[in-house]
Amino acid sequence: MSDRDIRPSPEALLKQAARDSGRGRLKIFLGAAPGVGKTYEMLASAQARRREGTDIVVGLVETHGRAETAALLEGLQVLPRRRVEYRGNTLEEMDLDALLARRPALALVDELAHSNAPGSRHPKRYMDVDELLEAGIDVWTTLNIQHVESLNDVVAHITRIRVRETVPDGVLDRADEIEVIDLTPDDLMQRLREGKVYVAQTASRALGHYFSPGNLTALRELALRRTAQRVDAQLLDHMQAHAISGPWPAGDRVLVAISGGGNAAALVRYGRRAGERLRAPWTALHVETASRAELSEAARSSVTDALRLAERLGGEAVTIPGHDVAGDILSFARERNFSHLVIGKPALRGVFTWLRGSITTALIARAGDISVHVVGSSERKPARAPAGPAVLTQPARAWPYLASTGCVAAAVLLGLALQQVLTASNISLVFLTAVLIAAASFGLWPSLYACLGSVLAYNFFFLPPVYTFTIADPENVVALFFFLIAALIASNLAAGMRAQALAARGRAGTTEELYRFSRKLAGILDMDDLLWATAYQVATMLKVRVVLLLPQGKANGESGGEGIAVRAGYPPEDELDAADLAAAAWCWKNNREAGRGADTLPGAPRLFLPLRTGSGSVGVLGINREGGAADAVRPLLAPDQRRLLDALADQAAVAIERINLAADVDRTRLLAETERLRSALLTSISHDLRTPLAAILGAASGLESYHALLDEAGRRDLLATIRDEAERLNRFVGNLLDMTRLESGALAPRLEAADLGEMVGAALARAGRVLADHRVEIDLAPDLPLLKIDPVLFEQVLFNLLDNAAKYAPEGSTVTLRAWHETGPGTAGQGRGRLVRLQVIDEGPGLPEDALELVFDKFRRIPGGDRQRAGTGLGLAICRGFVEAMGGSVVAANRRDRSGAVFTVTLPVQPADDAVPAEHEAAAPPP
């Protein structure tokens, strides 16, 4: 983009659209210290807006007992505060829901950095304000400069007091207006002495510590500078959104233009010093043109080192593509409102400057209102022709020149064919076409070669006397001269366009690769797959060897230790030596690059980069290139390759963090589920276990205290109560132990051949007291096959099902137990097999249709029936666990003939038991 092509910035237009999208406007009254009058000024401005007819509601304002501040609340609607109980104390917070329901045009919310009471919807008040803004409500709020997160350490260093409540800098950056409320140190200290800020005792202590003149002056400067930064950003957004060409003399900004010269680092250091002198932000800019391949490897390395130096010194490093370096630099400067431009002194002198031109001269001539600083250097600019093997420079090839020769020969043949109908001046256009073809196809030097060949061939074949290089007519000399000039200009332009097209094609290809890589990473859920894809992508795009290291234990997303270990690499057989491991460990510990070409441990064979995200480092990426000793002294990556590596590393880091976060979420969900089960277990134990214990203790106490007064029947009743409640307690404890065995994986069924009828009889005998108030019907098919099951576990299954039926079925109802065998789907690829089904049927209220599977969850109890008894909610869960451990299944359903529940247990018959007469294979239909 040239300096005449100024267009609105898409980012600035998006920001403007976001402000106009219905979101409320935020105004912050920013003070340097407590007591400067932020709340007073906010209320005074609100009273003026109220008189203008604005609908204003006070969400929360702290007057701190100041009468003049409280007086400004008169006439304003103040919402009642929400009371929160916390550790025996009653706290008052802003009622966010009431404020959203009231929906005023403007809400006043004091003390933006305040932390809400535990149990509030948001932990911080600035989050409440953000929700109000999202609802379209304008908000005025107050904030002291010491509560800004990025200035927390600075304020602590100045005042020796660390502020605990802070707000992110993004809150200030998103504010539509910031009004600085300021007082001189003398005026603020006088307010303290008069008791207008704190009570007398607190004020005297504050004057001796926090509110010293030096502290207050430093805090004032912080407040003014932070506000100036925000105003500068707003001005820049306005200029970019309205396509206003800068610079506007509202503030100083320094731009350092660097190229492949040897003084690039000196320019960056000068720009840093200039920024410090002017107290202005500064940026280092490099314009990448299509001719970068002509630069030597040293020149490309100097650009990369200079950009890294700029970042280390606190500046911004930017690289943009372009072809008109001077125009692109000035366009960038005007678009970003830079007022100072730092450039290097031109390396060429005299006639070379006149022939080739100077970027420095062009910048000075076209800078306009931008101040240009020309910095000299004693270092010589690296030669454009590479002295040794370069990473990007292509070796000289003969075939482009042979092809250019062919183009000239074709032009000669075509010219000879057209000689009868065209004049010599028109035939020159044929040769000009050949030059353009050579330039567009093979680049600048083959096109210049074609240009020279075309001039000679045109003279030799078509200018009289022909077949000689002598020119008889002076007019032909002039024509040949201008033909040469036109051919040179055309070849240069065509070659430049070709170089730009190739560069654009290369950038498009790289962008496409990055896009495909990002899509691939988005669909990967396993850490090992992610690391392999990253290593392969980096290796293929940069032609390097890659290793990826993660913290110990992070391969599958689990929490790791302090060390790191290799998790993936390409090629897979790569190993790290001691020097590499030391460099990788240092890189991980310090979150900075180390190894080959870095400032730390440069002797290591590999370069290690930290994989960083907003929350910190998630791993380390190491690369090296095949080569011998000579290769080891060369820079590992060219500047464009380094930028590509950084882009790949950033994408991989975000993907690794995503998988780690997903694993953390799963662990958190598991912990929450464990906590829920623990709470449910404790609740169950606290009630269901204490109830029988209380009954046992009560009956035993009655026997002990009133034994002589009780008759035989009374004593038997108390003893029966003790026995029944003890059995009930035993069942509860047994269920808990069984569930513990199931969840720990310690359950190992002892399978043996067992008769189903015998187990039914044992379970009924055990459940005799449970079923004392019910009728029991048994319908077992004759000649049921023996089942290979664990008799103890299966008896417990039957008992739990009978106990469940007794709990929910009314007294006097019937509990039916039936069993039969049938042919059903086989297992393990054995075709159709034989099954035994057993059902326990009751006449209770049945199960809700949406709870047929939920009844088997732990601690799940479905309400119903008029005789529901206490329990832990583990019986049916244990039934399913035991049956599945024996290779069977259990399902719940409702009766179709009347109300009631049906629990069906299905067990496979082992192949050895298949010799059962066919007449016994009649299947009983379920009720």
713-760 confidence digits (pLDDT tens)? 888 888 888 887 787 677 667 666 666 665 556 567 788 888 888 889
pLDDT(196) > 80: no
Across 623-637, 706-720, 841-855, least confident range? 623-637
Distance of CA 917 to the CA centre of its chain: 67
Name which residue leads in pLDDT, 572 or 927.
Answer: 572
Task: Give the pLDDT confidence score for residue 867 in this predicted structure.
Answer: 45
Long-range contacts (CB closer than 8 Å, 24 or more residues apart) made by 671-680: 677/858, 677/859, 680/858, 680/859, 680/873
CATH of domain 742-915: 3.30.565.10
Q: Which residue's structure tokens are 């950033």?
A: 650
Q: Which residues, in sequence order, are CB contacts of 110 under 8 Å at separation 6+?
A: 39, 42, 60, 61, 62, 141, 142
Domain 527-661 architecture: 2-Layer Sandwich (3.30)
pLDDT(634) > 60: no
pLDDT(415) > 90: no
User: What is the sign of the dihedral through the CA atoms of 365, 366, 367 and 368?
Assistant: positive
Task: Give the pLDDT confidence score for residue 687 in this predicted structure.
Answer: 55
- Contact between residue 624 and residue 603 where contact means Cβ atoms under 8 Å apart: no
CA 596/CA 576 separation, integer angstroms: 14
- Contact between residue 21 and residue 136 where contact means Cβ atoms under 8 Å apart: no
Phi and psi angles of residue 318, each rounded to the nearest 5 degrees, phi first: -130, 135
Predicted confidence (pLDDT) per residue in 40-86, tens digit:
889 999 999 999 999 999 999 988 777 888 888 888 999 998 888 87
Q: Tokens representing 332?
A: 């960038």
Residue 332's CB is within 10 A of a number of other CB atoms, namely 21
Q: Tokens representing 798?
A: 């039957």
Confidence of residue 913 (pLDDT cuts 50, 70, 90): very low
Predicted confidence (pLDDT) per residue in 79-118, tens digit:
998 888 877 788 888 999 999 999 999 999 998 888 888 8
Name the helix (H) or strand (E) containing 603: none
Report the percentage of the chain scoring pLDDT > 90.
9
* Order of all β-strands in the sheet with 564-570: 564-570, 545-551, 616-624, 607-613, 594-595
Name which residue leads in pLDDT, 348 or 165.
Answer: 165
Q: Which residue's structure tokens are 């709020």?
A: 141
Task: Give the pLDDT confidence score for residue 15 in this predicted structure.
Answer: 57
Burial class (CB in 10 A: 0-12, 13-18, 19+), 629: exposed
Task: Give the pLDDT confidence score for residue 382 in this predicted structure.
Answer: 43
Q: Tokens representing 764?
A: 């009924």
Confidence of residue 233 (pLDDT cuts 50, 70, 90): low
- Contact between residue 107 and residue 139 where contact means Cβ atoms under 8 Å apart: yes
Q: Tokens representing 519?
A: 């899509």
CA 204/CA 211 separation, integer angstroms: 10
Task: Give the pLDDT confidence score for residue 176 in this predicted structure.
Answer: 83
CA 636/CA 607 separation, integer angstroms: 8
CATH of domain 254-380: 3.40.50.620
Name the helix (H) or strand (E) containing 713: helix 712-744
Q: Which residues, in sequence order, are CB contacts of 792 under 8 Å at separation 6+?
A: 750
Confidence of residue 296 (pLDDT cuts 50, 70, 90): low
Bridging pattern class, strands 89-93 and 82-86 = antiparallel
- At CA 478, angle to CA 474 and CA 483, rounded to 5? 140
Task: Give the pLDDT confidence score for residue 720 in this predicted structure.
Answer: 82
Name the helix (H) or strand (E) containing 321: strand 316-321
Task: Give the pLDDT confidence score for residue 414 in this predicted structure.
Answer: 85
DSSP 563: S
pLDDT(916) > 50: no
Confidence of residue 906 (pLDDT cuts 50, 70, 90): very high
Mean pLDDT (whole number) for 219-237: 66
Task: Give the pLDDT confidence score for residue 923 in this predicted structure.
Answer: 42
pLDDT(515) > 70: yes
Mean pLDDT (whole number) for 424-448: 76
pLDDT(383) > 50: no
Task: Give the pLDDT confidence score for residue 62 in this predicted structure.
Answer: 86
Please choose, from the candidates 622, 562, 577, the residue with its C-alpha nearest in 3D space to the C-alpha of residue 595: 622
Across 412-421, 787-796, 871-880, least confident range? 871-880
Q: Which residue's structure tokens are 């509990």?
A: 815
Phi-psi region of 368 (alpha: psi -120 to 50; beta: other; left: phi over 0): left
Task: Give the pLDDT confidence score for residue 553 in this predicted structure.
Answer: 60
CA 539/CA 638 separation, integer angstroms: 15
Burial class (CB in 10 A: 0-12, 13-18, 19+), 472: exposed
Residue ranges with strand state E in 215-339: 254-257, 282-288, 316-321
Predicted confidence (pLDDT) per residue in 240-275, tens digit:
555 555 555 556 789 999 876 667 888 888 888 888
471 strand-pairing partners? none
Across 297-311, 517-531, 621-635, least confident range? 621-635
- Contact between residue 428 and residue 435 where contact means Cβ atoms under 8 Å apart: no
Q: Which residue's structure tokens are 């372009």?
A: 322
Name the range with the highest mean pLDDT among 98-112, 443-457, 489-503: 98-112
Superfamily per CATH, domain 10-241: P-loop containing nucleotide triphosphate hydrolases (3.40.50.300)
Collapse the DSSP code of 257 into the 3-class scheme (helix H, G, I; strand E, B; otherwise coil) and give the result: strand
CA 882/CA 904 separation, integer angstroms: 14
Task: Give the pLDDT confidence score for residue 918 in this predicted structure.
Answer: 37
Task: Give the pLDDT confidence score for residue 13 in this predicted structure.
Answer: 54
Task: Give the pLDDT confidence score for residue 392 in this predicted structure.
Answer: 34
* Order of all β-strands in the sheet with 340-344: 316-321, 282-288, 254-257, 340-344, 371-375
Q: Tokens representing 592?
A: 């900075």
CA 591/CA 587 separation, integer angstroms: 5
Across 137-146, 367-376, 740-749, least confident range? 740-749
- Contact between residue 77 and residue 88 where contact means Cβ atoms under 8 Å apart: no
Residue ranges with strand state E in 87-168: 89-93, 106-109, 138-144
* pLDDT averaged over every residue in the chain: 76
Burial class (CB in 10 A: 0-12, 13-18, 19+), 925: exposed
CA 96/CA 111 separation, integer angstroms: 15
CA 890/CA 878 separation, integer angstroms: 11
Domain ranges of the chain: 10-241, 254-380, 404-501, 527-661, 742-915
Alpha helices in 175-212 (DSSP H): 185-193, 200-208
Bridging pattern class, strands 594-595 and 607-613 = antiparallel
Q: Say if 10-241 and 254-380 have the same CATH topology.
A: yes
Predicted confidence (pLDDT) per residue in 385-410, tens digit:
333 333 333 445 677 888 888 888 88
Task: Give the pLDDT confidence score for residue 817 in this predicted structure.
Answer: 92
Residue 624's CB is within 10 A of a number of other CB atoms, namely 21
CA 176/CA 345 separation, integer angstroms: 43
Give the max Cα distance, the chain. Answer: 154
Predicted confidence (pLDDT) per residue in 588-605, tens digit:
888 888 888 777 777 778
CA 44/CA 29 separation, integer angstroms: 12
Q: Which residue's structure tokens are 């680049």?
A: 443
